[in-house]
Amino acid sequence: MLREPLGVLGISLVLLVVLGAVFADFLASADPSKISPRNRFSSPGFEHLAGTDQLGRDLFSRVLHGGQIALAVALGSTAVSLLIGMVLGLIAGYGPRWLDNLLILVFDAMKSFPTVMLALALVTLFGPSLTAVVVVVILVNVPGYARIIRTQTIALKSAEYVTAAQSMGASTARVLRVHILPNVIGPLLILASMDIPVVIAIEAGMSFLGLGVRPPTPSWGAILNDGFANIRESYWIVVAGGIPIILTTLGFTFLGETLRDVFDPRLKGR
């Protein structure tokens, strides 16, 4: 991966965002939730690297701590979605026909719900919280992962090495774990790496609308909302909330592109 320019750039951007979130407590110049009315709308400078918002809170500190929320939601919900989708996809592709049809019906039903409407319904039931964001992401991503695994499993279950393993008495669990899963996990990892910025955008969008994390918890979406409400007084709030989302999206997208070339060398150079 380090031989590809896009791979190096993607890994660098991802490491920049991850390290900023992990070491936020050491890199932050102030308490992200500390209100200082005397310093409200301070422009970027040595004291406040990214300026302050309408309550005088340090934006650089809020961006770093907001990265913790964004990455925790993105990585955690994507990992859970990947695991559930992988299990359901293997069951659908390798199981009996009636079970496959039933699971496909469930996947289509879940995929038919608009993301925004699903988020509004969950927030109405459970209230605005990170839990609602995670549940929305899982429900949105699982059908896509499961369908990909199902398609790959159907294509592989009639392969000669799978038939040979079955004839030698290998159990269903062993066939799935040893002979099928290693050959279908590659495309899923590529898709998951490219879905992480989408999940971050969902979390930021829900927080922007007031459906995600609750104030005063720092969030990139909440920072964007503050910047939109005070765009005439200070432009730097929108910049502080938008730049990390852009960098994260570019980093994970470039990383996914490089992973695609690594898992499938035939696509290299296209």
Query: CB of 61 within 8 A of CB of 215?
Result: no
- Mean pLDDT of the chain, nearest integer: 83
User: Are the beta carbons of 115 and 136 closer than 8 angstroms?
Assistant: yes
Residue 269 has pLDDT above 70, yes or no: no
34: Cβ contacts below 8 Å, ≥ 6 apart: 56, 57, 58
pLDDT digits (tens, 9 = 90+) for 162-184: 788 878 877 777 888 777 888 87
AA identity, residue 126 = F
CATH class of 5-267: mainly alpha
Non-local CB neighbours of 215 within 8 Å, separated by 6+ positions: 222
State the number of CA atoms in the 13 A half-sphere of 78 facing the CB. Answer: 21
Local structure of residue 236 (DSSP, 8 states): H
Q: Distance (Å, rounded) from C-alpha 62 to C-alpha 213?
A: 13
Q: 59-94 and 5-22 are packed helices; what angle lies between their axes, rounded to 10 degrees?
A: 120
Unique residue bearing structure tokens 């949105």: 140
- Helix, strand, or coil (residue 45): coil
Burial status of residue 150 (CB atoms within 10 A of its CB: 0-12, 13-18, 19 or more)? buried
So what's the pLDDT on residue 6?
80
> 50: closest CA among 200, 250, 218?
218
Do residues 221 and 206 make contact, with C-beta atoms less than 8 angstroms apart?
A: yes
C-alpha–C-alpha distance, residues 47 and 40, integer Å: 13
Q: Report the greatest alpha carbon distance in the chain.
A: 77
Q: What is the pLDDT of residues 192-216, one digit of tens each?
A: 888 888 888 888 888 887 777 777 7
Nearest alpha-carbon partner for 143 in 98, 95, 111: 111
Return the pLDDT at 41: 82
pLDDT tens column, 135-169: 888 888 888 888 888 888 888 877 787 788 878 87
Can you give the length of the chain in residues?
A: 270
